[in-house]
Structure 1
């Protein structure tokens, strides 16, 4: 029987039994027959009221993990795989011609291009080159990523049903296009807990391209806990002001005074938890304690005075500018060093509908060096072996141009085939996985659906994606819903 069900039985108190008699004596009798006697915190992945590292479920990991931590480098808006990672010389030879109907088929497109009468082929805007000993073809728009070609696995056969941004991001992060499900980081910390005892298990940071292109909104449910206890939701570090609101003491309040206040609150909440067994009370206890600890850990985390100058230079000129993608990448490495389980960086600006030829290069300049530096930095510190880095967006871009058919200026959303890359954490380095046809329209080998990628990420973390479930509204839910296969060809 699932441990969450046992934990719920354990939380039924005498007060609840008589106060909520709809459940009747049968539930109490069942709990008695099952002889459940262990403390609820141990079976539900919660910490004790006095704090400490967040524990995971008792039966996880299901097998030895390759990746202890994950850093998701989310490129919001849909990076153009045709211009970055999936070189197609046929597009250059046939530039301006319509993509054949036999290739297009009945592919679902966004409303912006579904009614087009012309489908002008638009080749990559910059040359590609073979990189590293692996010979992986990468655009010259990404000179720094080219330097880590032998450390990454480029997946060229991603596919999704989503054709718009918010559903696409929600699909990757939560396993459903409709908001409400737990995010991947929440599932990971629910199942595995966290090694850090003074930082959250799941941290989120956002950045944008400074208004140069169309940016997408970042909704809280991209890192939410859904129907899991709210303690598993991502904690967002802000790029302006205090990184985490309300953790600083009010003027005139000493740290000792705050400690005494929290101790009193903790005792009251612990009594309330014993009476009612509400997991959100446990969340309140743990989060008060975490906020107190973060008063000491966050300033240390963000003190870059100990970082050698050559390391800061690796991440680029924006490395010490708060709120930038480069700064967030540097913080991500420091979070991993301190035992954080899941770090999610979300960067907006890859939605080039009408400014592909003017803004894609600028977007690459903002993100290419920091992304590659993060992988190289983790590697030189011996952290890449057990840290999985995932780079990608919600979909790719169309092989045909958008705008004036005679002179297209951009590309529309395209989810039928697109690219991502992964590094470290048990992924096969210096490799490519999956193939598309000459037009990068249809997948011809090793398709990787969103659910397959989720299953593979969890597998690398030592989790059987079919076994990590949570009962909600009468059924067991999981990140991959009822789908997903581990892509073993991507694994080292």
Structure 2
């Protein structure tokens, strides 16, 4: 599937979602029984762009840069370092995360499918919704599912908050919009977008002169406009009601004292500085404050912009060195803060990416995916060629902390030499989502009636939680 086809199919699915009626729980032959929740809040730390596992959490044989070095010999461009788990090593530059690794589980066997032509936003759509596009309806984001089924922790705080991703002014913005939504669940379950964490308080500050009476008048006028519009212009009656409820929720937030959670300048300077490595670091600080105030699902992203950040098509080693400086300290501090505040047990923290990277292989062995490296060479001649510049979908690493997950554990293995495919305990995306949903108290078989057929939380309801990950 090419970019144009992807956009066309997603546009059609979005229109179908707006026209759909109220989604109702699917009347299955056997009633769905939700598991007892182990977590009340999920923080997803999204390494957007394809974080290379051999350069981070699954290091392989290391060779330093040397002019003339055959690229086929390069597995990792960083040496490994010890962690708080005896005998377990991760990549240099992640010393802070290494020091808290004993508080969670490192998964090295997450398997992602080869979707043919590798388009980042398409793989990100798949990871965030559990469904490979195109779909006939807009599949809800993982955060929307959790918001819909579990509801808010605090009625004044949006249940689903996305921190760090711009949807305007960046490449593939329409593709990103395709999964940053609640689909057929309706607007009220969609993400509250905060691209800049240091400006989050501005998003929840009432406009000057905005009294409750003035808001009520505007709300009534907007309601009349929607109701008087031509049939379908603002979606089905359910979608219209959901839109109005989202406005009511916004008004509740603007008038709540809990909105101070969005003001990260209220954080003590020592704590603020510990997190402040840039937008992502401050996003982790904001996530901790929002979790404390009752947010249900928070995603903090390093942000996907084509050919930037983790999207290393050249200058891989240099770029990953910079990315580690941005993520290492704030992630470790987030885990420490949650643990020291007694929140980690009921907060699930997940670090993941859409796929990994390799020096030689695009996709998986035998894949027909187009080689997208900008540093093609047989032997290294300059530093920009040193790094993992090709997309690798055969394995990926995931970190999980809290939410009933084991402490100090490593799950799964990959081959020590190329191709670094999973050799032990593979976890598919369906099973990864099932594990997350189970921790959050949601059955992976949960389904809603959409266009007179069931639409499941995990694809076709087949996801199975990996119970060995739980303590």
| TM-score normalised over the length of structure 2 | 0.77
Does the alignment pair 1:490 with 2:469? yes
TM superposition shift of 1:307:
2.3
Helix, strand or coil: the match of 2:302? Answer: strand
| Counterpart position of 2:51 | 79
Does the alignment pair 1:410 with 2:387? yes
| Counterpart position of 1:56 | none
**Selected match of 2:312 from 327, 338, 352:** 352
| Counterpart position of 2:402 | 424
Aligned residues: 404
| Counterpart position of 1:291 | 250
Higher Cα radius of gyration = 1
Contact 1:204 1:234 in 2 (8 A): yes
Root-mean-square deviation over aligned CA pairs: 3.5
| Counterpart position of 2:124 | 169
Over residues 41-66 of structure 1, what are the superposed CA-to-partner deviations in whole Å (9 max), with x where a residue is unaligned? 9x969xxxxxxxxxxxxx99812111
| Counterpart position of 1:70 | 42
The 3 A distance-change label for structure 1 pair 292 and 242 is: farther
| Counterpart position of 2:368 | none
| Counterpart position of 1:220 | 177
Structure 2: gaps spanning 5 or more residues = 1-20, 26-30, 229-234, 304-308, 362-374
Contact 2:262 2:290 in 1 (8 A): no
| Counterpart position of 1:205 | 163
**Selected match of 2:298 from 329, 343, 346:** 343
Contact 2:123 2:354 in 1 (8 A): yes
TM superposition shift of 1:131:
0.9
The 3 A distance-change label for structure 1 pair 128 and 249 is: closer
| Counterpart position of 2:213 | 257
Helix, strand or coil: the match of 2:82? Answer: strand
Contact 1:85 1:138 in 2 (8 A): yes
Structure 1: gaps spanning 5 or more residues = 1-39, 46-58, 99-117, 319-323
The 3 A distance-change label for structure 1 pair 171 and 291 is: same
The 3 A distance-change label for structure 1 pair 310 and 215 is: farther
Task: Tell me how far apart the structure 2 counterparts of residues 385 and 174 of structure 1 sit (CA, whole Å).
Answer: 25
| Counterpart position of 1:3 | none
**Selected match of 2:346 from 375, 386, 389:** 386
Higher deviation after alignment, 78-87 or 303-312: 303-312
TM superposition shift of 1:337:
1.0
TM superposition shift of 1:299:
4.9
**Selected match of 1:369 from 302, 306, 329:** 329
Task: Tell me how far apart the structure 2 counterparts of residues 267 and 245 of structure 1 sit (CA, whole Å).
Answer: 25
